[in-house]
Each structure stands twice: as C-alpha cells, then as structure tokens.
C-alpha cells in the first residue's frame, strides 16, 4: 500500500494527499534485478491440442541464472496459438532475447514440427497445480476437525 500511495503521490494522482505517502518505497528485491548484458535463451517445448505447454524438452541457457529461471517459468506457462486463435499440438522453439539498452525481453515462437506429442496431455501449469492441491490436502488432512463435529448440533 505504501508503494502505491508513494507512486500515486509522485505521479500527482488526484485524491491522494502527501500525508497518504507514509514512507519511501523500499528498493526492489534482488530477484527483480535486470541483467547488465544481453541475454539469450532457447527452449524446445511440447504443446497439447489447447496450445498449452505440457513440458520443456530441452533448453539452451544464458550466462545469467536468474534470467534462465524467469524465462523457463515463462515457457512453462505459455499458450501458443495461431493468429486465428487455433492451437497446434506439436513442438515449438521459444527464444528469449534480453536487450539491456531497452530493458525489454523479446520472445519468439517458431514451429519445429506438428504432432509427435500427446495432444490430450495436461498443461504443465495444470499438472503443477494438481500436485500443489494434493500436497496441500495431505498436509492439512490430519489438522482439520471432522465434518461431524463441525455440523452436528450439541445436545
């Protein structure tokens, strides 16, 4: 909230006074740092019939581990569709290029080949969410009261 108020004050947003900005925003965490040099990564990914990335087959990392982590996570979350909005089950190359001058990342998508994948496979994000739900349920299974003790009226 402090960051929003300080930014709103600095930008002169009407309705927010100087008293709203309580403290200067803290510096960004180390994970948000930008690479100092140009970076390039490539991933070969499989997509299902919906265009969801189901897995990363292989990758060519850059020299910056943080940039590699960010681009790998982005590749796992990608939906790849045609300009018309349809999806192609197949193998694609995702390329990420970082320009330190503009501080922007350009992502390119190239079809390597159609088919050769399971078109009905779950997307990587859906698979990770299912694993998270399962782990969360197992963690809380013993700590929740039984439904009978919650819903039964006391005599």
Q: Please tell me the predicted confidence (pLDDT) of residue 153.
A: 63
Instruction: Give pLDDT tens digits for 24-76.
Output: 666 555 556 788 899 999 999 999 999 999 999 999 999 999 999 999 999 99
Residue 15 — very low, low, confident or very high, per pLDDT cuts 50/70/90?
Answer: very low
Three-state secondary structure string covering 32-62: HCCCCCCEEEEEEEEECCCCEEEEEEEEECC
Q: Give per-residue pLDDT as tens, 93-137.
A: 999 999 999 999 999 999 999 999 999 999 999 999 999 888 888
The domain spans of the chain are: 37-138
What is the pLDDT at residue 97? Answer: 97
DSSP letters, 3-34, are HHHHHHHHHT-TT--TTT--SPPPPPPGGGPP
The residue with greater pLDDT, 31 or 88, is 88
Confirm if 31 and 49 have CB atoms less than 8 A apart.
Answer: no
pLDDT for residue 135: 86
């Amino acid at each position: 909230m402090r960051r929003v108020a300080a930014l709103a004050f600095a930008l002169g947003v009407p309705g927010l006074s100087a008293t709203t900005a309580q403290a200067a925003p803290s510096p960004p965490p180390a994970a948000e740092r930008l690479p100092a040099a140009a970076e390039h990564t490539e991933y070969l990914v499989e997509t299902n019939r919906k265009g969801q990335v189901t897995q990363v087959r292989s990758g060519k990392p850059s020299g910056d581990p943080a940039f590699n982590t960010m681009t790998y996570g982005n590749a796992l979350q990608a939906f790849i569709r045609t300009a018309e909005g349809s999806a192609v089950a197949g193998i694609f190359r995702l390329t990420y290029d970082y320009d330190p001058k503009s501080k922007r990342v350009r992502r390119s998508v190239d079809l390597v080949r159609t088919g050769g994948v399971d078109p009905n496979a779950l997307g990587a994000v859906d698979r990770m969410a299912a694993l998270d739900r399962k782990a969360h349920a197992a963690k809380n299974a013993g700590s929740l009261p039984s439904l009978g003790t919650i819903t039964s009226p006391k005599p």
